[in-house]
Amino acid sequence: MPASIDFVNQPITDSHPPAGTFAAADHELLDAYSKAVTGVAARVSPSVVRIEVSQSSRRGRDSQGSGSGFVFTPDGFILTNSHVVHGAGAITVQLLDGQKFVANLVGEDPDSDLALVRISAPHLTPVLLGDSQAIQVGQMAIAIGNPYGFQCTVTAGVVSALGRTLRSQSGVLIHEVVQTDAALNPGNSGGPLVDSAGRVIGVNTATILPAQGLCFAIGINTARLIASQLITKGYVQRSYIGVHAQSAPLHRAIAHHHGISTPNGALVLAVEAESPAQSAGIREGDVIVAFDEHSISGVDDLHRVLTEKLAAKSSQITVLRNTEKLSLTIVPAGKRNS
């Protein structure tokens, strides 16, 4: 007969950590979180501005509006949303120290909801720019802006999702939008979305009301491309092929079989009727991996390639369709926003 075991009189071994260990660990995490947020706020806030606009209606009445922006270059270029300054009769920029300056509208691009204004002011501190393609879901996201006129308000959360699309006021879909739960309110538009290192990863642009925690920012890589054209030309001119797309990973085996080195491509979500893409034979579900000699690893690459030089020019676009690799001839159309 096997020996019996007296469970009742067995000594009790406490395998739990001492009281207060979890509280100490939580305190360390909260302390690190607080230090990250306060550090970013101190570093970035001097670059964030309040933008006030006035408009005259046909009835002769003046209307007022406000939003946010951030210093993009040390010589006074400030990035914001197109919908903040669109149609403005006068634009005033207020810095963190309360100084106000009259701003000039350099240019705007309603299709991406981005705009540049410029002020003449000394000792401006530009932001550091990050890489929106390097963002990961779940990482810290800090929004700084002026909601409801409360200057330099800081909210924090995480990156909730990537690759969203958002329809601009011009009706065009904005691609590669970052979703965050960092609280945004009217007046935050145009302010920066920042990572834990103080680098701008997006331009805050919209919320979905009455939903809670559904906020969106335009990826800084897209903003950088638009801003460079606005600085050099005062308007944005691009080629147009007529697809709605988002970045998506490639099937490794299929990519390897066709000798494609990029891990991602631009997944076509929809093809507009009577567009260059439809004429070329591009279909929903195709993944664009190359345009002429340029590799396409996402929507940002596709935007970068579609410059005004390609308008009305015959080009080759390479797509993956299921397991096939196809090379199609496409003639992009020209499009200018100002």
What are the tokens at 83? Answer: 């919908």
Q: Which of 68, 189, 239, 315 is catalytic?
A: 189
CA distances from 299 to 8, 277, 287 (A): 66, 15, 11
Would you put residue 55 in left (φ > 0), alpha (ψ -120 to 50) or beta? beta
Let me know if 113 is a catalytic residue.
yes
Q: Is 32 helix (H, G, I), strand (E, B) or coil?
A: helix
Instruction: Examine the residue annotation and report whether 83 is marked as an active-site residue of this protein.
Output: yes
Question: Which listed residue (109, 111, 113, 300) is catalytic?
Answer: 113
For residue 297, which amino acid is it?
S
- Alpha-carbon distances of 91 from 50, 62, 64, 185, 190, rounded to whole Å: 10, 13, 10, 21, 14
The residue from 47, 66, 82, 83 that is catalytic is: 83
* Cis omega (within 30 of 0) for bond into 210: yes
Residue 56 annotated in active site: no
Q: List beta partners, residue 153.
A: 145
Residues annotated catalytic, as ranges: 83, 113, 189
